Amino acid sequence: MPDLSDYQHLRQNHPGWCTIESEPEIFNQILRDAGAPNTRVIELYSLDESILDKPDPIIGLIFLCRWRHDTSEVQEVETNCPNNVWFANQVSENSCGSLAMINILFNAESVILGEQLAQLKSFTAGLTPPLRGLCLQNSEFLRKTHNSFARRSEILQNNLDVIDSCKNARDSATATSPNSESAYHFIAYVPSGGSVWELDGLKRQPVKIGESDSTSRWLLTAMPRVQLQISKYSEDELMFTLLALTQTTPASIECLDTSFPYAIRVRHPYVAFMRRYIKLLAGKGIQVGHS
């Protein structure tokens, strides 16, 4: 019967990327652990000019939607990733939330990056999007930070998915498996070099969606693009979430919680704890559930 140390060992040594909950508090703790202390993820509830009034500058948007094949007739003009845009392809299943945050962080010049993130950004600066994606996939530091929020059931499911992928073609598994994270997808939007970019890790290159200055008004260029993404779905589709990655200012960081209670609870292995507790009680002759 596994105990607490076994569970932590399982998280730290799992070789793949596990599904984690798309919750701002969890993303915020990942940012702290990864080494981006002056950033914060918040959830947005409207797509109008009110988002320009946020107290902290928004350095990127993350749009979460149900993944689907794009059947629209309009084809994007593919161009090579410009030098002033950092963009990585998604080469690992279940990593798209962390990938979206990295795609934003590495395009925001004024954010503080810890040593490991700074080294990763510098090392990948001259690489192509696929090679950058491979570097992120193989980053033990990022994988362990990401997987620290994986539940035991999700780790075991990830193992089954890996076995499954060896038996089936990737395209078939993606199209027919509604329970895998590939059914949901994160798309990032960032300003860079006077333009606004859509960074979709499943596309080969970034997509330039318009021009904008360096102020927060770049969001007015990004919002119609998000609305266009939503319009591709039927009216009864409600699985959308819009997150903003903000850069905290000196004034607001004093009011910022340094820990996120929900994230701490998710990390705690309650099942392993209760198993251990019941085992200790049984050793003392106490039967749980009996008066």
Q: Are the C-beta atoms of residues 235 and 243 closer than 8 Å to each other?
A: no
40 Cα distance to chain centroid = 13
Tokens of 193: 């070099």
pLDDT at 226: 92
Q: Which of 18, 65, 81, 96 is catalytic?
A: 96
- The 3-state secondary structure of 162-216, one letter per residue: HHHHHHCCHHHHHHHCCCCHHHEEEEEEEEECCEEEEECCCCCCCEEEEECCCCH
Give CA–CA dist 289/291, Å, rounded.
7
Please give the model's pTM, rounded to 2 decimal places: 0.79
Give CA–CA dist 286/278, Å, rounded.
9
pLDDT at 87: 97
* Catalytic (active site) residue 96: yes
pLDDT at 14: 67
Phi-psi bin for 186: left (phi > 0), alpha (psi -120 to 50), beta? Answer: beta
**Could you tell me the strand order of the sheet in which 195-199 lies?**
39-44, 240-247, 58-66, 184-192, 195-199, 207-211
According to CATH, the topology of domain 4-283 is: Ubiquitin C-terminal Hydrolase UCH-l3 (3.40.532)
Q: Are the C-beta atoms of residues 116 and 157 closer than 8 Å to each other?
A: no
Quote the Cα angle for 151-266-269, to 5°.
60
pLDDT at 116: 95
79 class by beta-carbon count within 10 Å (0-12 exposed, 13-18 middle, 19+ buried): exposed
Give CA–CA dist 266/153, Å, rounded.
13
Give CA–CA dist 87/107, Å, rounded.
8
Low-confidence ranges of the chain (pLDDT < 50): 1, 73, 160, 162-182
pLDDT at 246: 94
Domain-wise residue ranges, the chain:
4-283
H/E element, 60: strand 58-66
| Residue 165: CA count within 13 A, CB half-sphere | 14
H/E element, 146: helix 140-147
pLDDT at 161: 53
* Catalytic (active site) residue 81: no
Give CA–CA dist 242/226, Å, rounded.
9
For 184-218, what is each residue's pLDDT tens digit? 789 999 999 899 999 999 999 999 999 987 678 89
Q: Are the C-beta atoms of residues 182 and 171 closer than 8 Å to each other?
A: no
Q: Which of 185, 255, 268, 290 is catalytic?
A: 185
